[in-house]
Amino acid sequence: MNEVTNIMVVGIGGQGVMTAAEILADAALRLDHDVKKTEVAGMAQRGGVVTSQVRFGACVKSPVIIEGQADVLLSFEQAEALRWQHWLKADGVLLVNDNQLAPPVVNLGLFDYPENALAALHSGGRPMSAFNATAIALELGNVKLVNTVMLGAVAEALPFSAEHLLEGIVSRFRQSKPHLVALNERAFNLGRAASASQLARVS
Amino acid sequence: MAAAQQAQIGQKVLVSGNEAIARAVWEAGTKVAAAYPGTPATEILEYLGLYSDIYSEWSVNEKVSLEVAIGASLVGSRGFCAMKHVGLNVASDALMTLTLTGVHGGLVIAVADDVGLSSSQNEQDSRFWGRFAHVPILEPADSQEAYDMTRMAFELSEQFNTPVIVRLTTRVCHVKTTIAIYGEREAFSLGGFAKDPARWVMVPTVARTRLPFQAKRDLKLAQYSETNPLNFSLSGVDESVAFITSGPAFMHVQEAFPQSPVFKIGYSWPIPISALKNFASQYEKVLVVEETEALVETELKAAGVENISGKDVLPLHGELTPDVIKYGVAKLIGAPITSNLIPAQQVFPRPPTMCVACPHLGPYFALASMRNIHIAGDIGCYTLGAGQPWNALDTCISMGASMGVALGMDKGRGPEDENKAMVAVIGDSTFLHMGMQGLLNITYNQGNVTILLLDNRAVGMTGGQNNPGNGMNLQGEQTNRVDFAKLVEALGVAPERIRKVNAYELPVVLKTLREETKIKQPSVVITGNPCVLVDAYQPKGPLYVMENDCNGCGNCLDTGCPAISVTRRETVVKPNGREKKLAFVTIDTSVCTGCGLCTKPCAPDCIQPLSLRGDLSKDVSTSPSLGDSQ
Ligand SMILES: Cc1ncc(C[n+]2csc(CCOP(=O)(O)OP(=O)(O)O)c2C)c(N)n1
Ligand code: SF4
Ligand code: SF4
Ligand code: SF4
């Protein structure tokens, strides 16, 4: 049987969703998997919903993950996790940055930000980890590190090792910006620890 | 960024269809490549711009890009142009005659359909150009095929003396799949322009002589389709339904029904009608899975094939993903449709919105506060002005349409619109693409239209590309820069009716628009502040809200700047008994650029530079930049 791993990365334009998906795809490629990755980069504006899908395995046909078939949902924002949770398999793993980003339509009072998003997500009974990756990134000194923190979070839910994934991240700037290697390793490990502890509690 | 460009023969790289096409164009020895940006095709030329041994340009519109490619072909070189689906509508005038002249050097047109409408004004099926323009169409399903077929397209073009269209969809352009590189750049030249009026000068007498050539070529192309290896079938053990499909839908079919027989069309026009008839005759039920219109299905039905289905069970619009196909097949064979999906949750919408500090925010704030105007809009980031909180754009049709539409509204108005001012809103790139002619038409016909020309020195919508408005070319080199004030004056706008404003000076923008809409002459209000995506944009230090002084009026939220968010709401009862809703705000200082727009409607003046605040310990925007590759 052809086993394909389906990873869905979701968030908001400008958060680094595409980069995270790119790194996951590259990691799979380096292990000689067949890989397909959607990159829907439409409008340049920030603020819209962004999703990227990575599929890999011995042989991948369609690049599209269909509803109910994702093995992992990696969400960079809380409400976005709720928006896409039904894309997961019944036993799919849900990893959520529980940071909240309200769009202008919510700030204008036209819509409400969901109050119990995390509770609703938990009620699905799936393996899940929710923690504030943005806070961790800010603590480390730059909000852009969210990306690496979230990749750390997903590391335990992949069919390859966390070290392999981390190598893929740091190799991107080991030459050009060596001072960032240690910082990204820390971000990765903090994300990994945060999610591993919660996932362990579930299983 | 440029995996395919750097790849050696034998290497496997994970690239998008757009990147694969660029590599193939380069390998084919192409000398000239041109395009006007348009999602999802934009990156093809951006990638080609990285190859230093090929001339590549941003053209001002798609028609010009095709004409540039035609010129290259005439002098015996290979020429290429790329565009989104609607771009070929613009270029079609050239295409419809080019098909009569034929080509000298190979000429390939890549056209990308936005199936599912991720960022376009309509959904079109570009395969129809094949029949209409009598040209062959190749239709890749993934990056490898995009690479292979683009290379083949040049050969086909020369072999049959015709332009060739490579038809793409978003799922080819923007999906990354692995390709195996097998070529280096080849040398190509057919040696110079051979003057031949009977071939290249399409006056009626000449065009008439070319028509029989075109008809003969149609026949040859149709014969070639029957035996072309790009059209092939795969057998399968589950013969309950067989499939005929093309493009990325082939991948979706294989995903959904890996055991079923399938005929894959790669050379889409002329369709291999005999081969398809033969395939269909072997099975009881055949489903045609094509994005988006029923082209193959209609042809087969017209050819008398009866056991086929298509749009009777599949949707007429959007992508035919594996789940959609399964649903259609269930309908076809009368199987029960079951679903054990987790229910979706209702979440607020999150539409794309203008960037933090976007130079369009101020003008839209002004337009939103004006009464008695009709706003004919155009296509660009400013089209988002139709949404919240501005609701200040009333029409959007096609590139440049704001000009003609506003004039038509002016001339066609009845008593209901007597006291309305007609405003046209257009961006710099759109103005240069197709708006200039419309403005000339306004001045020539003495229309009463106020034009708001939002010059942000970039093609913002498609990612901030260069254009003549910022004076930089595809490669980022300095070149001629158009002077919009001079340009519109040359098009007939009176010098005193040309007003330059700073987009962030709200009171000035508003006053200027009020004045110009009162004057019954064409006038042009021009902004000049750059898009925040481009290098010319210079951020200042962020601002913050002095929360104790904020009175909750919410005025700053009406700018639409996404850096501003509500921290707390209150409802108070005013002395007159009416309720007033208050919204107290904060500014995300990690993204605010200090443009100052939101300070303008803030009565208590409580939005101030963060640098003036005492405690700066957690100012994230001053931390070192990271190795983020975005
Ligand atoms: C015929 C056609 N070609 C290309 C496009 C893609 N497209 C949409 S808006 C746009 C240009 C926007 O630039 P500009 O007018 O300067 O406005 P901005 O987005 O910078 O505000 C382009 C290229 C299109 N919609 N139609
Ligand atoms: S890309 Fe530029 S023009 Fe478009 S919304 Fe952002 S800042 Fe404005
Ligand atoms: S100054 Fe105000 S409008 Fe400008 S970027 Fe900052 S928050 Fe947005
Ligand atoms: S405009 Fe000023 S007073 Fe009104 S909500 Fe904004 S910050 Fe507060």
In a domain, A117, yes or no: no
Confidence (pLDDT) at B340: 75
- The nearest CA of chain A is from the CA of B567 a distance in Å of 9
Residues B294 and B211 grouped into a single domain = no
Mean pLDDT of all residues in B35-59:
97
Count how many domains chain A has. 1
Mean pLDDT of all residues in B528-552:
94
CA angle, B589 then B594 then B599, to 5°? 100
In a domain, B350, yes or no: no
* A104 contacts on B by Cβ (under 8 Å): 353, 388-389, 557, 560, 562
Residue B87: is its pLDDT beyond 70?
Answer: yes
Residues B287 and B391 grouped into a single domain = no
Residues B281 and B382 grouped into a single domain = no
- Of the residues B315, B333, B351, which one is the last residue of a structural domain? B333
Residues B367 and B497 grouped into a single domain = yes
Confidence (pLDDT) at B630: 29
Task: Give B324's pLDDT tier (boundaries 50, 70, 90).
Answer: very high
Instruction: Give, using CA atoms, the residue closest to atom 8 of ligand 4.
Output: B550
In a domain, B163, yes or no: yes
Count how many domains chain B has. 4
Residues B84 and B21 grouped into a single domain = yes
Per-residue pLDDT of B483-522, as tens digits, reads: 999 999 999 999 999 999 999 999 999 999 999 999 999 9
Confidence (pLDDT) at A130: 95
CATH number of residue B138's parent domain: 3.40.50.970
Per-residue pLDDT of B288-310, as tens digits, reads: 999 999 999 999 999 999 999 99
Residues B588 and B621 grouped into a single domain = yes
Mutate to test the pocket of ligand 3, among B565, B566, B598 (most ligand atoms within 8 A of CB): B598
Chain A interface includes B627 (CB < 8 A): yes
- Judged by CB atoms within 8 Å, which residues 48-107 of A form the interface with B? 48-49, 61-64, 66-68, 79-80, 82-83, 85-86, 88, 90, 102-107
Residues B129 and B114 grouped into a single domain = yes
Q: Which positions ≥6 away from B209 have C-beta within 8 Å? A: B198
CATH number of residue B249's parent domain: 3.40.50.920
* A144 contacts on B by Cβ (under 8 Å): 625-626, 628
Residue B182: is its pLDDT beyond 50?
Answer: yes
- Only one residue has tokens 């005439």, namely B74
Residues B223 and B241 grouped into a single domain = no
Mean pLDDT of all residues in B396-414:
98
Report residues whose beta carbon is within 6 angstroms of any ligand 2 atom.
A 44-45; B 354-355, 358, 360, 381, 456, 460, 531-533
Q: Please work out whether the CB of residue B406 comes within 6 Å of at least one atom of ligand 4.
A: no
Alpha-carbon span B630 to B623, nearest angstrom: 18
In a domain, B338, yes or no: no
Chain A interface includes B401 (CB < 8 A): no
Closest ligand 1 atom to B464 CA: 20
Chain B interface includes A198 (CB < 8 A): no
Per-residue pLDDT of B434-469, as tens digits, reads: 999 999 999 999 999 999 999 999 999 998 999 999
Domain extent for A190? 5-112+124-202
Lowest mean pLDDT among A40-44, A198-202, B77-81, B139-143: A40-44
In a domain, A27, yes or no: yes
Confidence (pLDDT) at B341: 80
Confidence (pLDDT) at A45: 57
CA atoms within 13 A on the CB side of B256: 25
* B584 contacts on A by Cβ (under 8 Å): none
CA B167 to chain centre: 15
- Of the residues B292, B314, B333, which one is the last residue of a structural domain? B333
**Ligand 3 center to residue B527 CA distance, Å?**
18
In a domain, A13, yes or no: yes
CA dist list (Å): B60 to B43, B66, B67, B163, B471: 16, 11, 11, 21, 12
Confidence (pLDDT) at A15: 87
Say if the Cβ atoms of B40 and A83 lie within 8 Å. Answer: no
In a domain, A119, yes or no: no
Residues B216 and B304 grouped into a single domain = no
**Ligand 4 center to residue B176 CA distance, Å?**
45
* Residue to substitute from A12, A46, A82, A123, interface B, most B β-carbons within 10 A: A46
Mean pLDDT of all residues in B311-315:
97
Residues B239 and B314 grouped into a single domain = yes
Say if the Cβ atoms of B347 and A172 lie within 8 Å. Answer: no
- Only one residue has tokens 């979701």, namely A10
In a domain, A19, yes or no: yes
Per-residue pLDDT of B265-281, as tens digits, reads: 999 999 999 999 999 99
Alpha-carbon span B109 to B119, nearest angstrom: 21
Domain extent for B606? 543-628
Identify the nearest ligand to the CA of B530 by its number. Answer: 2
In a domain, B346, yes or no: no
In a domain, B340, yes or no: no
Mean per-residue pLDDT over chain B, rounded: 95
The share of chain B scoring above pLDDT 90, in percent, equals 91
Q: Who among B14, B345, B569 is closest to A29 (CB)? A: B14
| β-sheet bridge partners, residue B232 | B264
CA dist list (Å): B531 to A13, A45, B442, B528: 17, 11, 28, 9
Residue B1: is its pLDDT beyond 70?
Answer: no
Alpha-carbon span B43 to B82, nearest angstrom: 10
Residues B481 and B579 grouped into a single domain = no
Identify the nearest ligand to the CA of B594 by its number. Answer: 3
Q: Who among A43, A62, A111 is closest to B255 (CB)? A: A62
Say if the Cβ atoms of A26 and B14 lie within 8 Å. Answer: yes
Say if the Cβ atoms of B251 and A79 lie within 8 Å. Answer: no
In a domain, A57, yes or no: yes
In a domain, B288, yes or no: yes
In a domain, A80, yes or no: yes
Confidence (pLDDT) at A201: 64
Per-residue pLDDT of B360-386, as tens digits, reads: 999 999 999 999 999 999 999 999 999
CATH number of residue A16's parent domain: 3.40.920.10
Report residues whose beta carbon is within 6 angstroms of any ligand 3 atom.
B 356-357, 543, 559, 561, 563-564, 587, 592-598
In a domain, B452, yes or no: yes
Residue B627: is its pLDDT beyond 80?
Answer: no
Confidence (pLDDT) at A40: 66
Q: What is the mean pLDDT of each run of 10 residues along chain A (203 residues)?
A: 87 90 96 90 68 96 95 96 94 95 92 92 89 95 93 95 96 89 96 88 56
Confidence (pLDDT) at B606: 97
The per-residue b/e assignment along B605-617, b for 16 or more CB within 10 angstroms, e otherwise, is ebbeebeeeeeee
Say if the Cβ atoms of B627 and A180 lie within 8 Å. Answer: yes
Say if the Cβ atoms of B118 and A40 lie within 8 Å. Answer: yes
Confidence (pLDDT) at A48: 86
Residues B74 and B122 grouped into a single domain = yes
- The nearest CA of chain B is from the CA of A96 a distance in Å of 16
Closest CA to B69 of B86, B50, B85, B48: B48
Task: Give B136's pLDDT tier (boundaries 50, 70, 90).
Answer: very high
Written as one letter, the residue type at B435 is G
In a domain, B535, yes or no: no
* B174 contacts on A by Cβ (under 8 Å): 38-41
